[in-house]
Amino acid sequence: MGTGRLEAFSDGVIAIIITIMVLELKAPHGSGFNALLPIIPVFLIYVLSFIYVGIYWNNHHHMLYAAEKISGAALWANLHLLFWLSLIPFVTAWVHETHLVPAPVALYGLVLLMAAVAYFILARILVRDNGPNSALAKALGRDTKGRLSIVLYVAGIALSLWHAWMAVAVYVLVAIMWITPDRRIEK
Amino acid sequence: MGTGRLEAFSDGVIAIIITIMVLELKAPHGSGFNALLPIIPVFLIYVLSFIYVGIYWNNHHHMLYAAEKISGAALWANLHLLFWLSLIPFVTAWVHETHLVPAPVALYGLVLLMAAVAYFILARILVRDNGPNSALAKALGRDTKGRLSIVLYVAGIALSLWHAWMAVAVYVLVAIMWITPDRRIEK
Amino acid sequence: MGTGRLEAFSDGVIAIIITIMVLELKAPHGSGFNALLPIIPVFLIYVLSFIYVGIYWNNHHHMLYAAEKISGAALWANLHLLFWLSLIPFVTAWVHETHLVPAPVALYGLVLLMAAVAYFILARILVRDNGPNSALAKALGRDTKGRLSIVLYVAGIALSLWHAWMAVAVYVLVAIMWITPDRRIEK
Amino acid sequence: MGTGRLEAFSDGVIAIIITIMVLELKAPHGSGFNALLPIIPVFLIYVLSFIYVGIYWNNHHHMLYAAEKISGAALWANLHLLFWLSLIPFVTAWVHETHLVPAPVALYGLVLLMAAVAYFILARILVRDNGPNSALAKALGRDTKGRLSIVLYVAGIALSLWHAWMAVAVYVLVAIMWITPDRRIEK
């Protein structure tokens, strides 16, 4: 089976996830510029989540571009990834309603961690489907960045219980690390 | 007529349905981990509905892949299927707001039943459009799993009036039965 | 320019419109079957609007399939059609909140009328772009059904001021008239 | 890399943005025609935002049509554009809730300005990717209209602090200027 419709469906779901978060940005209470001040932290969390969903779309785009064959297992691994991504608006909302306390920041990290694990599983299944000598397998290589991200998310979750803002700093760090698209696949 | 745009439109609608449900997951009231406890049942219903919509997308993907021709009747049969799928977020919301009582669980089953019937009708029309010797007709065969699901949904609806959790167990059973994609079509 | 991306964007917008309406279907207040009774009129209006948006998708699909060239004017005529379709969830919500009184039913008819006019304009521009001897021009012919619909919507709006349910009957009639896809284009 | 999936994802996000705004159009309080009066300003702002998002889709469609190659940097420049577009429903909501006072109208202009800047950056990157002799580079030319828009948005933001309605007049003017699709690219 080709990758066309898998890409189209994933594009649809990711497009909705990235846009749904803006529904959380309610019009400020007040009509002056100072009414925007309490919105700023919400806005920053929105930016971070937007960038994370953007990173996933970007890497998903690159990975599927390199894949030629997809199995039924890959379809489910892809849905599994979309499931965790679909929880990002939910955890984003909890973080911004509670102002950087441990539990929501830890859950935010847990959802990022599970999305990273789901992406890792999808990558392994696609490599299995396309063979160890495929362009995809060579492009992904040892996936050091993917493994490092998982370690950093776990560290972030642990840190969140101590100082929530340190966890957020780790999540921002991982985002910066990924913001350059996966040049391995761009050949 | 080709299947391209039918797939694109269905992908769009199913992507929205699967993502809309997360809007029901409101940020918990409270900022500690224990604030997550009352969310757990909602979350489990969300997971079940996500899996159901995922199953439909998967099977729809396989079935349309095998189809070569679609008639005007197939377009309406497809819209009829999307109609019942679009009610899944509504019944999911009713189930999680009422905590496993008969009526919402029965209605949840009824919507699943009608979606299964709509899928069955769409499959018959596509077989008619593509001929009894088409790849699609051979792949679908006698559609034992489809017929069995319909029986199980009816049983689930009946059970829901007695013990709602038994109906949910039946719905979970049907989901597990379908989670393996339709290998008949994957050739 | 080809029609590919115009179709994809229209599919996206129509898919969202058709699915957004279900957000109006709030979980009933109560947990018994009788809690569903007050939902029934809302549900019927939802079904009617779903069918209308489905009709537009179906006919749009057929018309664009027959078109080969699209001009910049066609892009705007298409956006104009999508604009009126995007108001269907809004007027649907007003109708179901007010229980069949004149003003909302008249506005519902007005939005249907404007969508029909916008579709008519789009059809004319596409015929101009593709020439009077194109497959599209022949398929559309004198567009008797399109003209008749416009007359019926005007009649429905007038009737709504007298007896709202008579207007709804007219809208249902037009929907039935269109539910058979445009066989002229299906060759 | 080809432009197919970039277009599909952008179409999805823009389709959602353009449709999400209608969620702000709540059914009027009341059941007579006069209940529509307080909705009219909201409606006009909705029309303006719809036209703006439509303009971006139109120009994006034309620009990507002319592009042949896209780099990883273009993917991020495109996400950056989608980010600012995704804020249009938010600023639209603030403007209509506050009835033409300076701060919301200025912020509305700022979001339009940032979207224009993001579009300009995307255009530059695409020209770099496709070379100075590409069809795209020739079609865009000196991009006088793009530069003029940026100047007008800045003027609009400044005017908004003085008389909010004058800023809105400037935004309407820019929209009229762009409503004709980019004939440079249409060959």
Between CA B117 and CA B109 the distance in angstroms is 12
Residue C3 above 80 pLDDT?
A: no
CA D18, D21, D26, D32 torsion-angle sign: negative
Instruction: Read off the tokens for A50.
Output: 């937007």
Q: How confident is the model at residue B85 (pLDDT cuts 50, 70, 90)?
A: very high
Nearest Cα of chain A lies from the Cα of B135 at a distance, in angstroms, of: 14
Residues of C with Cβ-Cβ distance to B104 under 8 angstroms: 27, 31
Give the number of other CB atoms < 10 A from CB of residue B36: 15
| pLDDT tier for residue C168 given thresholds of 50, 70 and 90 | very high
pLDDT per residue over B150-172, tens digit each?
Answer: 999 999 999 999 999 999 999 99
In C, what residues contact B, Cβ < 8 A?
7-8, 11-12, 14-16, 18-20, 22-23, 25-28, 31-33, 35-36, 47, 50, 54, 57-58, 61, 65, 179-181, 183, 186
Question: How high is the pLDDT of residue C159?
Answer: 95
Residue A20, judged by CB atoms within 10 A of its CB (0-12, 13-18, 19+), counts as buried
Helix spans in chain C (H): 4-20, 40-66, 72-86, 88-98, 102-130, 135-140, 144-160, 164-179
- pLDDT less than 50: residues of chain A: none
Q: Do the chains contact at D72 and A15, CB–CB below 8 Å?
A: no
pLDDT value of position B71:
85
The yes-or-no verdict on residue D185 having pLDDT over 70 is no
Query: Is the dihedral angle over the CA atoms A131, A133, A139, A142 positive or is it negative?
Result: positive
| pLDDT classification of C40: cutoffs 50, 70, 90 | confident
pLDDT at C23: 78
Q: How far is CA B142 from CA A56, B2, B127, B137, B179, in A?
A: 40, 25, 12, 9, 19
Q: In chain C, what residues touch D180 (CB-CB under 8 Å)? A: 72
* Contact partners, residue A80, CB within 8 Å, separation at least 6: A118, A121, A122
**SS3 of residue B180 by DSSP:** coil
Q: How far apart are CA C141 and CA B87, in angstroms?
A: 38
Mean pLDDT of D121-136: 89
Burial class, C146, CB count within 10 angstroms (exposed 0-12 / middle 13-18 / buried 19+): middle
Say which residues have a Cβ less than 8 Å from residue A79's Cβ, sequence separation at least 6.
B50, B54, B57, B58
Query: What is the distance in angstroms between the Cα of A182 and the nearest Cα belonging to chain D?
Result: 8
Chain A neighbors (3+ CB pairs < 8 Å): B, D
Q: Average pLDDT of B56-81?
A: 88
Chain D residues at the C interface, defined by Cβ less than 8 Å, are: 7-8, 11-12, 14-16, 18-20, 22-23, 25-28, 31-33, 35-36, 47, 50, 54, 57-58, 61, 65, 179-181, 183, 186
Question: What residues of chain A have any CB closer than 8 angstroms to a CB in chain B?
Answer: 1, 5-6, 8-9, 12-13, 15-17, 20, 23, 71-72, 75-76, 79, 82-83, 86-87, 89-90, 93-94, 97-98, 101, 103-104, 106-107
**pLDDT of res. B132:** 85
* Mean residue pLDDT across chain B: 88
Return the partners of chain B (3 or more C-beta pairs < 8 Å): A, C
Q: Which of D3, D21, D22 to mutate to test the interface with C (most CBs of C within 10 A)?
A: D22
- Higher-scoring residue by pLDDT: C181, B58: B58
What pLDDT sits at residue D184?
54
pLDDT band at D148 (very low <50, low <70, confident <90, very high): very high
What's the average model confidence in pLDDT over C160-167? 92
Residues on chain C touching B160 (C-beta within 8 angstroms): none
The first and second tokens of residue D59, run together, are 């120009």
Render pLDDT for C56-96 as a digit per residue (tens, 0 to 9).
998 898 888 888 888 888 989 999 999 999 999 999 989 98
**Chain D residue with Cα closest to C6:** D61
Residue range B4-53, pLDDT digits in tens: 788 888 999 999 999 888 877 888 888 889 999 888 888 888 999 999 99
Query: What residues have CB less than 8 Å from B185, skipping those under 6 apart?
Result: B62, B63, B65, B66, B136, B139, B140
Contact yes or no for D26 and C75 at CB 8 A: no
Residue B182 confidence class, pLDDT cut points 50, 70, 90: low
**Quick one: pLDDT at residue B186?**
55
Determine how many CB atoms are found less than 10 A away from the CB of residue C177: 13
Model pLDDT, residue D71: 85
Residue C133 in tokens: 């001897």
Which of A22, A54, A183 minimises the CB distance to D87?
A22
Which of B1, B13, B89 has its CB closest to that of C18? B13
Whole-number pLDDT of residue D117:
95
**Chain A partners of B11 at a C-beta cutoff of 8 Å?**
5, 8-9, 12
DSSP characters for C103-121? HHHHHHHHHHHHHHHHHHH
Its pTM surpasses 0.80:
yes
CA D125 to chain centre: 19
Interface predicted TM-score (ipTM) of this complex, two decimals: 0.88
User: What pLDDT score does B105 carry?
Assistant: 94
Q: Is D27 helix (H, G, I), strand (E, B) or coil?
A: coil
Q: What whole-number percentage of chain C has pLDDT above 70?
A: 95
User: Is the pLDDT reported for residue C186 higher than 60?
Assistant: no
| B26 min Cα distance to partner chain A (Å) | 7
Interface test with C, best of D10, D16, D18, D19 (most C CBs within 10 A): D19
Q: Do B22 and A87 touch (CB under 8 A)?
A: yes
pLDDT at D67: 85
CA-angle at C105, arms to C99 and C107, nearest 5°: 135
